[in-house]
Amino acid sequence: MTGWIHPGVVVFLGGLLIPFIKWRRIRLAYFLGLPLVGLTILVLTSIGIFGSVPSWPEALYKWRIPFLQYSLVLGKIDKMSMIFAYIYLIAAFCMNIYALRVKNHWEHVAAMAYAGSALGAIFAGDFFTLFFFLETMSWAPVFLLWFRGTQKSMGAGVRYALWHHFSGACILAGIVIHLNKTGSIDLVHLPWGWGGEFLGYNLMLLGFIINSATTPFHSWLSDTYSEATPSGSIYMTAFTTKTAIYCLIRTFSGVPLLMWMGAIQAVFALFLAVLENDGRRLCSYHIISQIGYMVAAVGIGTEMAINGAISHALCHIIYNALLYMGAGCVLVVVGTAKFNELGGLYKYMPISFWLYMVGGFSISGFPLFNGFISKVMTIEAAELIHNAPIYLLLEGATVGTFLHTGLKLPWNMWLQGKDEPPPTIRAKLKDSAVNTPVNMLIGMGILAFLCIFMGVYPKVLYDRLPYAVEFIPFTTTRVFSIMQMFIFTFMGFWLLRKLVQGYPTYTLDTDWPFRMAGRKVIWFCEKPLMTFAQFVDGKVMGVADFLVWFSRNPALALHIKKEEAKLKVKRFMMSPKRAEEHAQVLVEKRKSYPGELPKLTLGASLVLILLAFSLYLILYLLIK
Amino acid sequence: MKILRTYPKRLLWTIYFVGLAVSLILDFVWLRLNALHYHFPFQYFPQFFAIFGVFGCILLILIAKGMGYFIVKDEDYYEKKSRK
């Protein structure tokens, strides 16, 4: 059998059918089943039903569609796309469980369209297909934002769309320039450098950098993810940025610029996270920081680094979804995720706390959790190229990550040294240990299990990476150094824990200049531009009004105008009384205008028509 | 159910201090025995990761607080701006 079914298309189109299923239970079962169908297809592909998947970097090509003089490849199946697709679908399944109780089923549609188009981008074998799926992927989250229905989320949705359409335009421009130069649309590794001949590639790189939320273009992520619906934001954490990392690995691995951008980003985001008061925004800064590791690894570009980038992206999807779910379930249960309003929740939501902590330990890179097995690969890659600044930045980011997600967030949300939450929050909680809806706990539970399973048995991931891995993460040196670092990070946190508690504030980000410039543009449009437009409008309308008035009875109009002009001149020569009389007569005439229209005889009409024709003739001859 | 709802504070503190002491001793012993294999010379500095952890953490918080002087605003900063 050589045919193949595209799991992305199944999930995407299947998602669009959700609202047509009337019965709630069947609809939810169908919603849960969609990623499972995708997973089944993947398993069948893995075991070679559709032809065996060759070893890296060879690929299996399916679903070739002719388009203009090109051939679109919707299914480029190789080791890298397979492992990404597996994790996307597993994560989507857990997220679907988490989002099961959402009342608005259009949110489910948007989520499945999102996951489906992400899979489409992963399997794309040419730039056109990739661009198409990146574009559809940039629309689904806008709806996940708008469905929250608050004023802030509406604005965030528009900003999300603006950022992603700008990046989409950059990518398209890059693709067109590349196509013009090489005549091929195949998805291949691209050259990079400074200078005019690399303009297209730099534009494409800029597009991917914006999509992957690399500093200084990271602000859209923290701005929008924290405004989406509690379950919608879970989907957003997984797909967009990781797909951008996937694109970077495919096209721009080994660009030294990326190495520095990534390493700086990994630390920079942490400074902003210190000041953050909203739990979900704090997790957003950690996505940005973790993406820093991946971007840096892509920039290093050695086999070990690429393996590190891929495995970190995949582990990140799992543990970050778990972190967002932890913060999201607090938001769902008590209606806020702001640190200054929380604390002392432990007694009421202990299971969520511990499941969250699994995510927290994973993202920090504790041994035996999945963040460790992927993070040490990236750090090792930096060590192997003997680049001490990159190593120190990445290691420093590890400290900061543990400080925030492992200590600051759980401390501020669940503990703060209090036994009871503040009274307003307490009123929303039942007196039980399970306040979180069970489906959310199940979704989190599966992800937490995966975090630990992958951490304890890294072979399950390593065997599926594109390059062969001979890497043992658990060496005495690594385990010891990272544990000692964490123990002392905790000491630093405990000493300064009063400084990192939440205050009801908002931290400005790198989008400040854009938003301020945007405000100025809107001000310019509303004030000076509108005034000018009104002025022009008034003048044009005045002329138009006059022409309309004039054409009602041109003969009388001409007469009135002539009389008016005459009066103006004569006024100085006649007595004021007479002038007044004249003016009175004119006013009377204007009032009775257009009055009785002059009746022309047939001959006079013909003369007028001939006159008009001869005018045309003169005009024609003049122009000739 | 009751065990679930009480936070194991004492246990965690005990584990923490035991871990702290063990890590300090192990670093001392293993560096003597040349049992640790690092890539950069500065990593061989005694208790490097302990110092890095605690000072990295403190520096991070203090620098961020310094930045906060300029960039921390009211919660409805942008909303207020647009109302003007």
- Residue linked to tokens 């857990």: A94
Q: Is the pLDDT of residue A96 over 90?
A: yes
A523: which 2 tokens? 């001000």
B26/A480 CB distance under 8 A = yes
Q: Say how many C-beta atoms besides its own lie within 10 A of residue A422's C-beta.
A: 16
Domain-by-domain residue ranges, chain A?
Answer: 1-252, 253-507, 511-551, 553-624
B74/A388 CB distance under 8 A = no
Q: Say how many C-beta atoms besides its own lie within 10 A of residue A428's C-beta.
A: 13
**Hey, of A484, A490, A503, A520, which one would you mutate to test binding to chain B, going by the most B CBs within 10 A of its CB?**
A484
Mean pLDDT of the region A443-465: 92
Per-residue pLDDT reduced to its tens digit, A331-357: 998 888 888 888 888 888 889 999 999
Residue B71, burial from CB neighbour count under 10 angstroms (0-12, 13-18, 19+)? middle
**pLDDT band with cut points at 50, 70 and 90 for residue A306:** very high
By residue count, chain B amounts to 84
B74/A506 CB distance under 8 A = yes
**Hey, of A482, A501, A506, which one would you mutate to test binding to chain B, going by the most B CBs within 10 A of its CB?**
A506
Query: How many Cβ contacts (< 8 angstroms) between chains A and B?
Result: 153
**Hey, of B9, B61, B81, which one would you mutate to test binding to chain A, going by the most A CBs within 10 A of its CB?**
B61
Point out the residue among A388, A477, A488 whose CB comes nearest to the CB of B37: A477
A275/B19 CB distance under 8 A = no
- Nearest chain B residue to A414 by CA: give it: B7
Q: Which of A195, A467, A461, A454 is nearest to A304 (CA)?
A: A467
Q: Is the pLDDT of residue A280 over 50?
A: yes
Give, as one character, the DSSP assignment of residue A318. H
Q: Which of A522, A505, A502, A475 is nearest to A376 (CA)?
A: A475
Q: Say how many C-beta atoms besides its own lie within 10 A of residue A596's C-beta.
A: 8
**Using N-to-C axis directions, what is the helix angle for A350-364 and A388-401, rounded to 10°?**
170
**pLDDT band with cut points at 50, 70 and 90 for residue A206:** very high
Q: In this structure, which amino acid lies at residue A62?
A: K
Q: Which of A97, A34, A76 is nearest to A186 (CA)?
A: A76
> What confidence score (pLDDT) does residue A337 get?
87
B56/A396 CB distance under 8 A = yes
- The overall longest dimension of chain B from CA atoms, in Å, is 68
**pLDDT band with cut points at 50, 70 and 90 for residue A372:** very high
Measured CA to CA, the distance from residue A426 to residue A418 in angstroms comes to 12
A252: which 2 tokens? 């721009």
- Nearest chain A residue to B24 by CA: give it: A484
Considering only CB atoms, which chain A residues are within 8 Å of B31? none
Point out the residue among B53, B61, B65 whose CB comes nearest to the CB of A484: B53
Q: Is the pLDDT of residue A558 over 90?
A: no
Q: Which of A434, A377, A408 is nearest to A500 (CA)?
A: A408
Q: Which of A280, A253, A473, A460 is nearest to A368 (CA)?
A: A473
Measure Cα distances from A158 to A144, A239, A422 in Å: 12, 19, 35
* Interface residue B44 vs chain A (CB under 8 A): no
Q: Strand, coil or helix: what is A509?
A: coil
- This prediction has a pTM of 0.86
Per-residue pLDDT reduced to its tens digit, A231-257: 899 999 999 999 999 999 999 999 999
* Interface residue B37 vs chain A (CB under 8 A): yes
> What confidence score (pLDDT) does residue B81 get?
75
- Identify whether the C-beta of residue A371 lies closer than 8 Å to the C-beta of residue A363: yes
Mean pLDDT of the region A598-615: 88
| CB interface of B with A, residues 2-21, below 8 Å | 4-7, 16, 19-20
**pLDDT band with cut points at 50, 70 and 90 for residue A61:** confident
* Interface residue B84 vs chain A (CB under 8 A): no
Q: Is the pLDDT of residue B38 over 90?
A: no
Strands (E), B37-77: 72-74
Mean pLDDT of the region A6-30: 92
Q: Say how many C-beta atoms besides its own lie within 10 A of residue A104's C-beta.
A: 12
**Hey, of B57, B74, B78, B79, which one would you mutate to test binding to chain A, going by the most A CBs within 10 A of its CB?**
B57
Helix (H) or strand (E) holding A473: none
> What confidence score (pLDDT) does residue A554 get?
80
Highest mean pLDDT among A320-324, A429-433, A500-504: A320-324
Domain-by-domain residue ranges, chain B?
Answer: 1-37, 39-84
Mean pLDDT of the region B39-48: 88
Per-residue pLDDT reduced to its tens digit, A472-507: 888 888 899 999 999 999 999 999 888 888 888 888
B26/A505 CB distance under 8 A = no
Considering only CB atoms, which chain A residues are within 8 Å of B76? 506
- Give the distance, in angstroms, between the CA of residue A237 and the centroid of all CA atoms in the same chain: 10
User: Between these two residues, A597 and B67, which has the higher pLDDT value?
Assistant: B67
> What confidence score (pLDDT) does residue A85 get?
94
Q: Say how many C-beta atoms besides its own lie within 10 A of residue A265's C-beta.
A: 27
> What confidence score (pLDDT) does residue A2 get?
61
- Nearest chain A residue to B68 by CA: give it: A275
A438: which 2 tokens? 């069970």
- Nearest 5°: phi and psi at A533? -60, -40
- Nearest 5°: phi and psi at A482? -70, -35
Measured CA to CA, the distance from residue A354 to residue A356 in angstroms comes to 5
- Identify whether the C-beta of residue A358 lies closer than 8 Å to the C-beta of residue A444: no
**pLDDT band with cut points at 50, 70 and 90 for residue A418:** confident
Q: Say how many C-beta atoms besides its own lie within 10 A of residue A145's C-beta.
A: 28
Q: Mean pLDDT in chain B?
A: 87
> What confidence score (pLDDT) does residue A124 get?
92
Per-residue pLDDT reduced to its tens digit, A107-146: 999 999 999 999 999 999 999 999 999 999 999 999 999 9
Rounded to two decimals, the ipTM of the complex is 0.92
B39/A396 CB distance under 8 A = no
Q: Strand, coil or helix: what is A80?
A: helix
**pLDDT band with cut points at 50, 70 and 90 for residue A567:** confident
Q: Mean pLDDT in chain A?
A: 90
- Nearest chain A residue to B52 by CA: give it: A485
- Nearest 5°: phi and psi at A213? 55, 50
**pLDDT band with cut points at 50, 70 and 90 for residue B1:** low
Q: Is the pLDDT of residue A1 over 50?
A: no
Give, as one character, the DSSP assignment of residue B40. S
Considering only CB atoms, which chain A residues are within 8 Å of B37? 475, 477
> What confidence score (pLDDT) does residue A499 get?
86
Per-residue pLDDT reduced to its tens digit, A143-197: 999 999 888 899 999 999 999 999 999 999 999 999 999 988 888 899 888 888 8
- Identify whether the C-beta of residue A125 lies closer than 8 Å to the C-beta of residue A74: yes
- Nearest chain A residue to B78 by CA: give it: A515
- Identify whether the C-beta of residue A326 lies closer than 8 Å to the C-beta of residue A253: no
Q: Is the pLDDT of residue A597 over 80?
A: no
B34: which 2 tokens? 């040349």
A492/B56 CB distance under 8 A = yes
Phi-psi region of A60 (alpha: psi -120 to 50; beta: other; left: phi over 0): beta
- Nearest chain B residue to A156 by CA: give it: B78
Q: Is the pLDDT of residue A428 over 80?
A: yes
Considering only CB atoms, which chain A residues are within 8 Å of B41? none
Measure Cα distances from A478 to A375, B38, B46 in Å: 11, 9, 16
